[in-house]
Amino acid sequence: MSKQLSFPQPIETSYAAENYYPGEPSAVARGMLADAASWPAGKLLILGAEGAGKTHLLHIWAMQNGGLLADPMDLPRQSDSPVVVDDADQVAGDQAAEEALFHLHNNLAAAGLPLLLSASQSPLSWGLQLPDLASRMEATATATIEAPDDATLTAILIKLMGDRQLSPAPNLVDYITRRMGRSYAEAGRIVNALDGLSLSEKRNITTTLAARVLDGETE
């Protein structure tokens, strides 16, 4: 049964390991994350589209390896533990942030500590202004989360709805998966729109509501 909603529910994003779906699209990335000792120069960059689960994977790795989750726009220049930088491409064009990431590269390498980063695109597309940082990023090993298959999209829909405290019937998730666009970002758009419509109209999340969202109707 779908949950009847009449007021906004808090979105509590879970980054617990047990809530990550280990699908085929992320197999290479997960394999590399499991063996940090094999990372060339102690660095790894996880690439993937919006909503692909990069942040979730980075949080899991940080929790399992004592990593420091660092804001790309407020990076430490050195650390006594591994450092994890989500959305590292945000530093591009900001002189102070680029310099901080450059020094972090050097200091972690000197200390023999891993550096894990994520971005949606290859460093060649970031627009880095600091040549030394650009060369280090371009030499960083990468692992790409591939486009989602049906099983992964189903798992992501269930995860996103769970974060919003929604409990859809299994047949509803299957209905959406078969008809939606094949992208991670589309899964997020659909869940957000379903939640909005159910709240505004005070209705259960049904196939009728899902059909409207899939047809492009939002709240």
pLDDT for 163-192, tens place per residue? 998 877 779 999 999 999 999 999 999 999
Share of the chain above pLDDT 90, in %: 80
Question: Could you tell me which residues come within 8 angstroms of residue 46 by beta carbon, excluding any fewer than 6 positions away?
Answer: 29, 33, 54, 57, 58, 116, 117, 118, 119, 142, 143, 144, 145
Task: Average the pLDDT over 5-11 and give the result.
Answer: 54
Q: How confident is the model at residue 74 (pLDDT cuts 50, 70, 90)?
A: very high
Query: What pLDDT does residue 9 have?
Result: 58
**Residue with structure tokens 């007021």?**
7
* Stretch (H or E) spanning 29: helix 27-33
Query: What pLDDT does residue 168 have?
Result: 79
Task: Average the pLDDT over 198-210 and give the result.
Answer: 87
Query: What pLDDT does residue 218 have?
Result: 59
Nearest alpha-carbon partner for 168 in 205, 212, 219, 207 = 205
Handedness of CA 166, 167, 171, 173 (dihedral sign): positive
The strand pair at 83-85 and 115-119 is best described as: parallel
Rounded to an integer, what distance in angstroms lies between the CA atom of residue 61 and that of residue 65?
A: 6
Q: How confident is the model at residue 219 (pLDDT cuts 50, 70, 90)?
A: very low
Question: Could you tell me which residues come within 8 angstroms of residue 174 by beta carbon, excluding any fewer than 6 positions away?
Answer: 154
Q: How confident is the model at residue 41 (pLDDT cuts 50, 70, 90)?
A: very high
Residue 57: pLDDT over 60: yes
Task: Average the pLDDT over 32-36 and give the result.
Answer: 97
